[in-house]
């Protein structure tokens, strides 16, 4: 997709956040040393997943109820146009639920070292954004990265989508991996930026900040960190590669 409206950030107007390792929350440092994720993080991610699926599932239920009302056994004559609309509602809602489930199955459930089952990550991301008013650009180079890096990319997309409540454009690029979210009003709260860089205590995480926090965990698992640059109408999330390992972001090719 074309990158209309995407240009360089203006350093003098942008707000950039970076966190030193000493600023990581105590819970994160413990999790990093043990290779575990706190139960509260899992609970909040599960709640987010249920919220994402509740809309299309409720629409499926409504469509089935409408079809039941047109049951000839109830003594009414079926209306072809009405039946068509009800079936279309159920079909579209089922497609949205399937696309979201596929996306979060990969974004949350993919295990490092496993083979990808089902559609490729960029196809999953396309389906996820198709039901929104957000245009996505998943660079060809990212499609060649290892599944672990593409899992991080998909989670960056989820953070970016939350930053575009009225729609806009999400652009994933490589070298190293980064995401630009452009739209009005594109915004990333201070709380989300802190969570993205693992500075938020787990007890303070919410349904709105758990996604950035989990994305930060994925970056650290790849021995990198994330940085957020924000200006009016634009948010950029970038992977920071340690200077001693300049080729790390491309090592998954």
Task: Give residue 31's pLDDT.
Answer: 52
Question: Is the distance from CB of 138 to CB of 172 less than 8 angstroms?
Answer: yes
What pairing do the DSSP bridges indicate for beta strands 168-173 and 134-138? Answer: parallel
158-178 in b/e form (b: 16+ CB < 10 A) is bbbbbbbeeebbbbbbbebbb
Q: Where are the domains of the chain?
A: 15-250
Q: 183 in helix, strand or coil?
A: coil
| 32-36, 225-229, 239-243: least confident range | 32-36
Q: How confident is the model at residue 153 (pLDDT cuts 50, 70, 90)?
A: very high
Give the residue-averaged pLDDT of 99-103: 93
Average model confidence (pLDDT) across the chain: 82
Note the pLDDT of residue 72. 61
Token digits for 225? 């960190």
Whether this prediction's pTM lies above 0.75 is answered by: yes
Q: What is the pLDDT of residues 34-92, one digit of tens each?
A: 456 789 999 999 999 999 899 989 989 888 888 877 766 655 666 788 888 888 889 98
- What pLDDT score was predicted for residue 73? 60
Give the C-alpha separation, 55 to 162, whole Å. 16
Least confident of 4-18, 98-112, 200-214: 4-18
Q: Write down the CATH number for the domain with range 15-250.
A: 3.30.565.10
Output the CA–CA distances (angstroms, integers) from residue 125 to 10, 155, 180, 223, 236, in the order listed: 29, 10, 15, 24, 18
Q: 10-19, 47-56, 197-206, 208-217: lowest mean pLDDT where?
A: 10-19
Which tens digits make up the pLDDT trace of 106-125? 999 887 767 777 889 999 99
């Amino acid at each position: 997709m074309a990158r209309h409206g995407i240009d360089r950030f203006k350093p003098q107007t942008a707000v950039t956040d970076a966190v030193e390792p000493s600023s990581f929350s105590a819970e994160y440092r413990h999790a990093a040393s043990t290779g575990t994720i706190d139960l509260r993080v899992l609970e909040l991610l599960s709640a987010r997943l249920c919220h994402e699926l509740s809309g299309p599932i409720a629409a499926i239920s409504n469509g089935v109820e409408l079809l039941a009302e047109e049951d000839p056994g109830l003594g009414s004559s079926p209306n072809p146009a009405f039946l068509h609309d009800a079936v279309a509602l159920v079909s579209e809602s089922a497609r949205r639920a399937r696309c979201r489930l596929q996306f979060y199955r990969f974004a949350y459930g993919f295990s490092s070292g496993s083979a990808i089952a089902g559609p490729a990550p960029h196809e999953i991301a396309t389906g996820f954004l198709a039901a929104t008013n957000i245009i996505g650009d998943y660079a060809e180079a990212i499609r060649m990265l290892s599944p672990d890096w593409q899992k991080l990319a998909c989670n960056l997309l989820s953070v970016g989508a939350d930053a575009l409540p009225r729609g806009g454009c999400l652009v994933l690029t490589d070298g190293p991996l980064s995401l630009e979210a452009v739209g009005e009003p594109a915004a990333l709260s201070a709380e989300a930026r802190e969570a993205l860089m693992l500075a938020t205590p787990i007890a303070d995480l919410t349904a709105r900040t758990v996604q950035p926090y989990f994305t930060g965990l994925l970056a650290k698992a790849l021995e990198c960190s994330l940085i957020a640059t924000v200006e009016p109408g634009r948010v950029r999330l970038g992977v920071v590669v340690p200077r001693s390992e300049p080729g790390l972001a491309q090592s998954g090719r």
